[in-house]
Structure 1
Amino acid sequence: MGLQVNFSAHAKELQDAYQAVLSDTNPTNWLVYSYEKGTNDLKVQDTGDGGLEELFDEFSDGKIQYAFARVIDPNTQLQKYVFIGWCGTGVPESRKAFFNSHLNDVSKFFKSFHVQIQARDEADVEPELIMKRVAESSGAKYSVHKEQQRAMPRVVPVGSVYKKTEIPDIASMQKEAMKKESMPAPVGTNYRPVQTAPKPLNQRWGAGSTGLSDGAAKVRAEREQAEQEARERETAMQKERDAQARQASVEQERRAKEQEQLEQQRLAEDQRQREQQQQEEERRRAQEQQDARHRQEEDQRRAEEEQQAERQRQEAQRRQEEAERQRQQEEEAERQQQEAERQQLEAERQQQEAERQHQEAERQREEERLAAQHQAAATVPTSNVQGQSAVVLFGYDAGEANELSLAEGQVVINIEQVDEGWWFGTTEDGQQQGLFPANYVQLIEASEAPAVVPEPPAAVVHDQPETTQDLGQTAVALYDYDAGEENEISFREHDTITHIEFASDDWWQGVGPDGKSVGLFPANYVELHQ
């Protein structure tokens, strides 16, 4: 369906109805056009000869209709044409949008009319209102048009050939004159008595012929009078004909002038209506342009809002994705850190285990060496086996299993200066031996050292079981714990964990209850022994 109004679908019916309203001989004085359902094809809805009162009932609230009517101007008594564009209040908005453009096209189809009305409800098409608009469109209200037309006298055409005035019958006239003593009645309204010339004096010498002369003179006078009257009648008739001709000419000129004035008024009205239509068309176009600008601005604003919303949605999604990536990265970093910590703890544990094993091996070798020395000392004199001795200046608690705890005033014998800062020695009773810091003791000269009774070989230290000091830091389990990793140890409530090393605040390392497994365990699951 095109957007423009279509006149071609029912062109003949539209044109026939229009010509019927224009025709003076056709009683049809109004028509109504409407659309085919669902299209822009214009059709004839109805026609009639009942005037504006009948046309009033044809308009429907839910339709767009176009009416054309022929009325009589109450001022000029001339025919006027009225064009009505009807757009009911119940018309859908989608159809109302095309009303103005279609109205312009239909007005061009009707070509010429005196009054145009745009109507939306019944108040706009009241017959009284329409006739008021028609009366106002005719301009000045001349009272002459309300008077009855006067009958004009018939104008007798003036003959073009001269006709001689007939001479009246003198004899018959004399007979009639002799019968009447009074003067003859005047002829017509224009009769004027003829002033005859004074009678001539009788000849004094011709008295015998006086009777004959008087009779001839009288006849001649009557003939002249009749001719004069005929001429006067002819003159009067000619004057009357001239007056009638002049009056007809004046009337014709008045009518022509009035017709010219009416034509000028009609042209002026047509020009005014064209200008009004042009102004309305310009206003309509300006309104359409303004509406188009408003729609464009609204569409642009809506597009900008949608773009802004899309940008915000994308930004929120990007932030969410960034937060998710950051969370995953943090989790991955935390997992890697925990893994690194576990690996570091495992490495430290392995290193500590290696160091412990190395120290244990060193201790065993040292014990074997000391045992060999003790065994050799049993075969030599006492003065040669004592070696260097020292008195303890400060108390010292062993920090490792291969160290020797010292008490102030204690005597350490068989001292070997294995390192610049650390010496190796045996307690005076021979029960303990190990490393101790050299600056915690003071060597005793040989003359000052008391004699020491050599110990029997059976009392070698490495053949005795380890004391509780060799277990290092210990703790008792408060709860059951099952290892979650290979580098962890398991234990049950009340089990004892030995050789504890504090790898971190939350995780410690130690030897399990079986005395073999070494690994990590949670610090809050145990309680240290005091």
Structure 2
Amino acid sequence: MSVDLSKNNASLKEAWRDILNDKSDTNWALFGYEGQTNTLRLVSKGDGGINELKEDLNSGKIMYAFIKLNDPKTSLDKCVLINWQGEGANTVKKGICANHLRDIERFFSGAHLTYNARNEDEVDEDVLIDKLKKVGSEYSFKMKVEPYEPTLPVGTRYQKVNAVKEINSQERDKFWKKEEEEEKKRLEEEKKRKKDELLKMELAIAQREEIETKKREQEAELRYEKIDQIKRKEQESLKNETEKHVAPQKPVRASILKAQNNTDNTSNATVTSSPEPNNIEQTLSDDETDQFATIKRSPKDSNNQKTAETPTTMNLTENESETPKAAPFIEQTVQMLEQDFVDEYIYGLKDGYKARALYDYQAADDTEISFDPGDIITNIEKVDEGWWQGLGPDHITYGLFPANYVELIE
């Protein structure tokens, strides 16, 4: 709520004018609110100064004082508006009255300073005057002013200079000649200095370029050396890798071929022999000897062999049917041609060595087997130092292969 200044406007204005009037002795006036309203009224006024004002201040109320003080430094009367907020005043009332101060300052115009006080110790004349010095004018009307004296014209003995009369032409010519020589000398020295600086700069550039060239050559040599080392390592690695993957030389099969020829001669002799019982026994004995031959056929081919041998056996039976002692022997021969007996007894295909192929190998003839790297060869028999025989990866073909093309495994 705003402050009410209209109800007691006349009395408020009259007290304020008495303080501003130099002919009036009134130098202070105190204003307060009527009861609990916001209507401002005149409480008291006097001419006893600030000490008299302190006696009328109430610590439980919100009040406003307008006082005139004399500034000893400037000898001027200055006005101060005191915003008194007693320590015992209602807090809500303080908050409401805080909005009234601007309207009151506008109503009591002419105050040089607005001062906030809460107790009598803060309402001190020295404190107020000190604050007024900081905000007021420092001009003193009691200062002595010296009388003004008019300035008289200043006398002079100036005479105009005549350059033609005062300057000697000969001396002038000597002076300018000397200046020209000095300037010419200075230009020559400047030219020589620039030339020397240019030579020094070119020499420094040449030295720097030489150093940089040597450095680049050294770096290039180191780079080429590293490249050569890398190339040599790559060539060695490639060579080792090539040597590692190149299949070794196939061993000679001279001893095996010799054994094969002996076996073939023995077989031919058996076939051309007489079909007597004794010859049949001799043939059977040769077959038993053939089971230890170096070159063996696949067990899976035994069916074909059986088919090829059966007619011969039957012919022998027909030719020797007149001999009763040959029948049991022929029957025994047929039984020996059974597949299981051939696999186990004649060809000896029992669990033997196993090997893994290291290189690719293609059979040169029907007596050898073919395989690829990584294939497993089973039932191996070491028939020669450089040649072994075993069952191929297809588990059908049984034949020779180079021993240095494989490695044994468990």
Shorter-chain TM-score range: 0.3 to 0.5
Larger radius of gyration: 1
| Superposition TM-score, scaled by structure 2 size | 0.34
* TM-score, scaled relative to structure 1: 0.27
The structure with higher relative contact order (CA 8 Å, sep 6+) is 2
